[in-house]
Amino acid sequence: MSTRTVAVGSASGLHARPAKIFVEAAAKAPVKVTIQVAGKKPVPAKSMLSVLALGAKQGTEVTLAADGDGAEQALNDLAALLARDLDADDA
Amino acid sequence: MPESLSGIGVSAGVAAGPLLRIAAAPALPAPVPVTDAGAEVERAYAALAEVVADLERRADRASEATVAEVLRAEAMMAGDEELREAVRENVEEGSDAPHAIDAAFGTFREMFAEAGGYLAERVADLDDLRDRAVAVLLGLPMPGVPQPGHPFVLAARDLAPADTADLDPAQVLALVTEVGGPTSHTAILARALGLPAVVACRGVLGIPEGSLVQVDGASGQVEVGTEFSVRRAENRVMTEISGPGRTSDGHAVKLLANVGSAKNVPAADQAHAEGIGLFRTELLFLDRTSEPSRDEQITAYREVFRAMAGRRVVIRTLDAGADKPLPFLHQEGEPNPALGVRGLRVARQRPQVLTTQLAAIAAAAGDTGADVWVMAPMVSTLAEATEFAAAVHEAGLPRAGVMIEVPAAALRAADLLRVVDFLSIGTNDLSQYTFAADRMCGDLAELLDYWQPALLQLVGICGEAGRAAGKPIGVCGEAAADAALAPVLAGLGVSSLSMSPRALSGVRASLARYSYAECRRLAELAVAAPDAATARKVVS
């Protein structure tokens, strides 16, 4: 199991638009990725409701985990996405 | 004899058509035992899939990118795999489809509510999705604005800003609501769209769905009967007096239009508006869960500025709070939102929302050739006006003004004019605060009447201050659209009137009937009148 821990970069946290962008990217990953906030149980990264329910704010550390072929690349990409301020990006 | 109901007419015009309601949320039926769990899971999944498909269709149709984005995010929630998994588990434990869906949403609902803050506010979205799925299962219409594919009269208890995102003016013939007042969201929306509207119409929700009704937005009458044929309100062509607004002896009163986006500009042009007196920016922020980016704002503002090259555009900074809550501001627990953190006051908590907006306005104004003026809503003190003017000038914008919506600001108009370049009176809120009467309260309509002498007196204080300082005083509330009141406002010292484009020709014609001296005389009589009805009478 590979993991990456990263602080959420989006100004509004992992809400609304940033959550949507992240969940869409996770759904496209070739492996099943989970996301976890310390002290809570890991949830599927491609579940919009579960990701929203994490209640992660800007600066909250989240841990991504995945197994299998392409896991390393997928985790790198998703971690990089989380670290960015997706609120500031333009559609 | 047809049945007749009456309410308060808030947007003139007569239209008729079948009445459809904003469907209420369905009640959960009594639980039934499940014999074929597999089939029941499929039934539940099909209902969720229909909700997703419906939201995506609405997103495709949405003319505003922000509305589409919100709808697509909701579709993602309704199609969530974890949710489907929870539904399946619930069915396997013996629940029927509606109860399995209710319980599955309930789990997330609890998690959202527990997380508090922003997420707690999204609980309503989950409830809405659940209601939609349950409605599909029960064969009922989905809650929200109906989309029957033919023109109809829309009835509702009241229209929420969220409902209006879905409202197609090509399909809606008229609006009727059971609550609301002359300055409610429904009334403002109806006038902006040029739809006849009646508010505070008790009993409208009792009219059977699909009945033919005729709505008279001037008299407030709503009649039910089979003899009405579907027809749209005609845009009455007034005897055309064109050119800039002026009294019979040439005293200028600028006639401007209220707009919410570039989409409203053609109507303003058609009505020969001399410019934009109120460009509301909150539409761009409405229903957003995150603040629109600086570039997104620049694009929206530039569209309007470009269309108005060579003319004045008064743009108002974000007016949020109270009846216009914005999710991204995370405003919770206001004891009384109308008296709380709203309008410019939001900048106390979130100064960067204002600075970003001013920077976007300055960037958008750039090379468009429009004469861009900026004003802030809900200013009450000289300190607020001073600070706002400084922020406007710092952003590189030359003209700063404030709205007069609070009696304190009207009383100190002369003071405010020492630090700002113009004032714009928002008569709707000024009525609300002067008479301590909620804008939404239909029972208090007579207190919200802008012919109330106390309100006119406050307008007069501003007008006098404007004359003394040689600075412009505008009115951009609903009062500006009342043709009979126009000469009174001019006489009180108001130098520009901004209204929905439909009202422009009537106001222009009314002003042209009086000399400036007559306007001043009418203003004196109206302010001296003992009540609103007498004020109206002495002028007509």
From A70's Cα to the closest Cα of chain B, the distance in A is 22
Q: Could you say which of A16, A46, A52 has the minimum Cβ distance to residue B290?
A: A16
pLDDT-wise least confident of B178-182, B253-257, B433-437: B178-182
Residue labelled with tokens 């003209």: B399
Look at residue A73 and tell me whether its pLDDT is greater than 80: yes
Nearest residue to A4 via CA among A27, A26, A28: A26
Burial class from Cβ neighbours inside 10 Å (0-12, 13-18, 19+) for residue B128 reads buried
Least confident of B135-144, B226-235, B365-374: B226-235
Q: How large is the average pLDDT for residues B166-174?
A: 84
Mean pLDDT of B382-404: 97
Confidence band (pLDDT; 50, 70, 90) for B148? confident
Q: In whole angstroms, how far apart are CA B232 and each of B18, B170, B310, B398, B504?
A: 12, 10, 35, 44, 21
**Residue B140: pLDDT band by 50, 70, 90 thresholds?**
confident
Whole-angstrom Cα distance, residue B272 to residue B502? 10
pLDDT at B287 (0 to 100): 66
Please indicate whether, in this complex, the C-beta atoms of A91 and B296 are within 8 angstroms of each other.
Answer: yes
Q: What is the pLDDT of residues B193-246, one digit of tens each?
A: 778 899 899 999 999 989 999 999 878 899 998 888 888 886 543 344 577 899
Percentage above 70 pLDDT, chain B: 92
A11, A44, A89 member nearest B81 (Cβ): A44
Reduced DSSP (H G I as helix, E B as strand, rest coil) percent helix, strand, coil of chain A, to 5: 35, 20, 45
Find residues 278-307 of chain B whose CB sits inside 8 Å of chain A: 289-291, 293, 295-296
ipTM given for this complex: 0.90
Compute the average pLDDT of residues B510-533: 92
Considering A31-45, B104-118, B462-476, the range whose residues carry the highest mean pLDDT is: B462-476
Q: pLDDT tens for residues B14-54?
A: 899 999 998 778 889 999 999 999 999 999 999 999 999 98
CB B388 within 8 A of CB B344: yes
Question: How far off is chain B from A91, nearest CA to CA, in Å?
Answer: 9
Torsion of CA B450, B451, B454, B455, to 10 degrees: 30
| pLDDT band with cut points at 50, 70 and 90 for residue B440 | confident
User: What mean pLDDT, rounded, does chain A reach?
Assistant: 89
pLDDT tops 90 at residue B356: yes
pLDDT-based confidence at residue A34 (cuts at 50, 70, 90) = very high
Contact B434, B455 (CB under 8 A): yes
Q: How many residues does chain B have?
A: 540
pLDDT, residue B238, reads: 39
Mean pLDDT of B332-352: 84
* pLDDT band at residue A90 under the 50/70/90 scheme: very low
Residue type, B377: P
Which of B162-171, B248-257, B286-295, B480-489 bottoms out in mean pLDDT, i.e. has the lowest? B162-171
Position with higher pLDDT, B359 vs B326 = B359
pLDDT tens digits, B77-109:
999 999 999 999 999 999 999 999 999 999 999
* pLDDT of the residue at B322: 60
Q: How confident is the model at residue B289 (pLDDT cuts 50, 70, 90)?
A: confident
Helix, strand, coil % over all residues of chain B, rounded to 5: 50, 15, 35
**Please, how many CA atoms are within 13 Å of residue B98, restricted to the half-sphere of its CB?**
17
Whether the predicted pLDDT of B359 surpasses 50: yes
The answer to whether B76 contacts A20, with C-beta atoms less than 8 Å apart, is: yes
Query: Over 90: is that where the pLDDT of B367 sits?
Result: no
DSSP bridge partners of A61: A7
Computed over every residue of chain B, the mean pLDDT equals 88
Q: Report the pLDDT value the prediction gives residue B90, as an integer from 0 to 100.
A: 96
Residue B328, chain A, CB below 8 Å: the answer is: yes
Read off the tokens for B279: 């460009």
Given a cut of 70, whether residue B185 has pLDDT beyond it is: no
Position B363 scores a pLDDT of 95
Q: Chain A: residue nearest B293 by CA?
A: A88
Provide the pLDDT for residue B189.
72
Look at residue B84 in the predicted model and tell me its pLDDT: 96
